Structure 1
Amino acid sequence: MENKKNKSEKSLAQLGSAAVTSHTVNEEAKKQPSYQTVTEIMDWGAAITKVIVDLGKAVPVDSVTKETFHVHVQRYDRRLENPFLQEGNRIMKNAYVSDKHGKPAEKMGQYAVLEMQVSPTLSLSSAINYDWKGTGFNDWTDNQYTITQQRNIQTSDGTISELVIDTFTGGVRELVDDFTTGKATYDNITLTYADYSPAKNNEKNPLVIWLHGAGEGGIDPTIAIAGNKAANFASEEIQAYFDGAYVLAPQTPSFWMEGFTEFGDGTSKYQKALMALIEDYVSQNKDIDHSRIYIGGDSNGGYMTMLMIRDYPEYFAAAFPTCEALKDSLITVEEIQKMKNLPIWFITAKTDKVVNPNLYTVPTYNRLIEAGAQNVHLSLFDHVIDTSGLYKNSDGTPYEYDGHWSWIYVYNNEVTNTINGKATTLMEWLAEQSLKK
């Protein structure tokens, strides 16, 4: 196997127009008023939540409000025959003077942070685009901002007025930039991957493997963790359950469900390469605990999760297939017997119209229980809704996502069950599983 790994760019070079321009910014451009973007991975995907404006000189903390600047964006997807997607004005939520990293200044600062509204329905805020007519994949978009000054800024050196700022100098992608990327080739099949390494603590650390859905295939593995919220496995909240865990997010150039005879036939032409990648990754990171390797994935990735635990049930300590797409009719009695002793937590929603749980997850779960499985669980949600309280329908009820998006509950660790008389979250349960038990 050939395995190549490179540190991800920390300068946000892949974000927005940075994918093209951030490496070529000259010294003269750096002296001009300019902006950077801040991208966060939300429940529905990547969104640009802030721009940080370099004003060129220090200003008092009370000299910038949300009325000081007007923010306009044009969005492009360079994969498309007609790259232009849309343009419009971003709605300002807040604005404040800061240091260059966006931290609020105490008295004076050279930068202004402009916080903008985002929501599941506000496509102007999105940092990615789903090419549903062509590739079928998500990818980063070019987001070209123009920040126009609307009100004067008073400083001790005089007045700053009439700024028009459209020089992009990079940015950051929260959590995504904490991952590195690489690729591995096995028998002429190349898989890319994103991975996160915990701080070294002279102890063995578990490994969490996540397999992406159909929309996150391709050759840019940052999409595998940013097309939806998989990057959250590296968050402080989730890492705390494991006292630090490795995260490996492999990416297929097409679909995990690409079988040897037809799509979703119970096989995958990527399975051997995936297992080779996992074994190679574990061997290269000596502090990975071989007894605590966990695997999960959503939809297309849930399908591959099922294949992996079917064919390598003694390698993994636990699995958490989410809206998994392996038809129950393709799972034999013998395979149920092989899987029944592996700790598994299934997650899906009744409103899933893409992968009907009554044809996939539910009957498989029932067969495992009937076969005597002792540590197999099912979270069957009524629907998938916003639980943050931030996004609501016009009647005040929580915003409802597509029923297929049950992975949102996984990334936010909002999957719970009563186990041994105790309310237990998915991540609590996962961290407790070990082959030694």
Structure 2
Amino acid sequence: MLDGGEQVTSVTLDTGRLGRIDPASLTPGTFSVHAKATSPIPIAAGDQIFSEYDLDRPVTAVRLDRRGDIVLDLSFAEGQVGGGTLGYILSRGRNVQLDLVYTITQNAPLVVHGRPLTIERFTQGRLVNPEVDAFSYHTSGSGMKYRLFSPDHRGGKRPLVIWLHGGGEGASLPDNYYDNETTLRANRGALGFATAEAQRIFHGAYVVAPQSTSFWLEDGPRFAPLILEIVNDLARRHDIDRDRIYVAGCSNGGYMSLKMTTTYPRVFAASVPICGVVESLDPGGPVMITDAELAAITTPTWLVASRDDDTVPPEANTVHAHELIPGSVLSLYDHVIWNGHQFPGHWSWIYVARNDPSDHGTHIWQWMGRQRR
């Protein structure tokens, strides 16, 4: 999982059953890989989908894993076309999980038990991402889908982190598309809280990622009780400490994080709205979170944004909210840069997913973990 979203970084061939393969017979040229990625739903004439592709994937290395399976490492990089698993449909404003077809061609024989072998055909298996696969699938009583990470059970009550996705990761029900996938595959927002580092800091936390049936900004007051329903159900069924429930989200989800704390002021121990929407993104549109609501927030709040965000203007939204929310903390970056790659300014959630924001020497995950309702 890259900071900019999920990419296929390798292909594993189930060859362990063939017997001992001579590693000397494996080179990056032994196999060729072709990848085709298409939308799972029809694209209307004149519409656009970004990141479909039909191309060769360069093999950078080939190796045998512990099971004797051949692993083809593929070229990948932030922003590289041809490795992503999601496509963005412009008219819907939604990401969809692309249908991937990988074609493997063997260019030279393997040496197995001293004899040359050419594999006649390959059958494609499933997409594997250990970080994403660690989250189980669920649907609430009201029909809202969500993914859940459960910590190792070592006894005692555990905190709960709620991750609220951006606008591109909701469902597109006019197309009957509600996948419960893009919430985790589009960015590391929820995944960051499930890492070993975060789990150590939170002393083992549940992480839940609900998926909107559209987008949170469409009707925050309607979605708020549906999210709370999931929270309450999880608290009943799991060893969750109700005094340590944290809500965080990006963009649409940043708005929804604020909406949850204005609607339920006594539920959350802390809130982390990232590049969240306060003012309407449409000129002349209604204010999404009023000044009075912001000023009345009592939940400890840490806001994050980047000055070069040209999707949700930071001054009118994040900075404005910080000025009104009593005692709030603000991390305002100049750009979104990680590992030397500059991302769009709207993608400031990358910093939170890497526990980068800090205030007087305290990083954001540690700050969250110290808060109690």
Tell me the TM-score normalised to structure 1 length. 0.76
The Cα offsets for residues 204-247 of structure 1, whole Å up to 9 and x where unpaired, read as 11000010001100122222111211223211121111111000
Q: CA deviation at 1:268?
A: 3.2
Q: What's the secondary structure of 2:182's corresponding residue? A: helix
Q: How does 1:34-183 map to 2 (within 5 A)?
A: 41-55=1-15, 56-81=18-43, 85-100=52-67, 109=68, 111-133=69-91, 135-161=92-118, 163=119, 165-183=121-139
Contact map agreement 2:160 2:244 (CA 8 A) in 1: yes
CA RMSD across the alignment: 2.1
- Could you tell me which amino acid in structure 1 is paired with residue 75 of structure 2? Q
Q: Is the 8 A contact 1:192 1:221 kept in 2?
A: yes
Give the 3 Å change call, closer, same or farther, for CA 137–336 of structure 1 in structure 2: closer
SS class of match (1:209): strand
Q: Residues 217 and 256 of structure 2 are in contact (CA less than 8 Å); yes or no, is this contact kept in structure 1?
A: yes
> Aligned residues: percent identity?
32
Gaps of 5+ in 2: 172-177, 281-286
Query: 1-side partners of 2:321 and 2:122: how far apart?
Result: 54
Structure 1: how far apart are the matches of 2:5 and 2:300? 29
Whole-Å separation in 1 of the counterparts to 2:88 and 2:140: 26
Mapped partners of 2:218, 2:78: distance in 1: 30
Residue 332 of structure 1 deviates from its aligned partner by 4.4
1-side partners of 2:265 and 2:24: how far apart? 60
Give 1:424's aligned residue: 362
1:258 and 1:268 in contact (8 A); partners too? no
Q: How many residues align?
A: 353
- What secondary structure does 2:315 align onto? coil
Classify 1:432/1:118 alpha carbon distance in 2 versus 1 (closer, same or farther; 3 Å).
Answer: same
| More strand by percentage | 1
Matched position secondary structure for 1:243: coil
2:167 corresponds to which of 190, 194, 214: 214
Q: Which structure 1 residue ranges, 5 or more long, are not aligned?
A: 1-40, 101-108, 260-266, 389-397
Q: Summarize the alignment of residues 139-288 of structure 1 with structure 2, pairs less than 5 Å apart.
A: 139-161=96-118, 163=119, 165-186=121-142, 190-218=143-171, 219-229=178-188, 230-259=190-219, 267-285=220-238, 287-288=239-240
TM-score (norm 2): 0.89
1:146–1:164 contact (8 Å) kept in structure 2: no
Query: SS at the partner of 1:172?
Result: coil
**Does the CA contact (< 8 Å) of 1:60 and 1:97 recur in 2?**
no
Q: Is the 8 A contact 2:33 2:57 kept in 1?
A: yes
Q: Does structure 2 conserve the Cα–Cα contact (< 8 Å) formed by 1:175 and 1:232?
A: no
Separation in 1, partners of 2:9, 2:317: 37
Q: What displacement does 1:112 show?
A: 0.7
Name the residue aligned to 1:380: 332
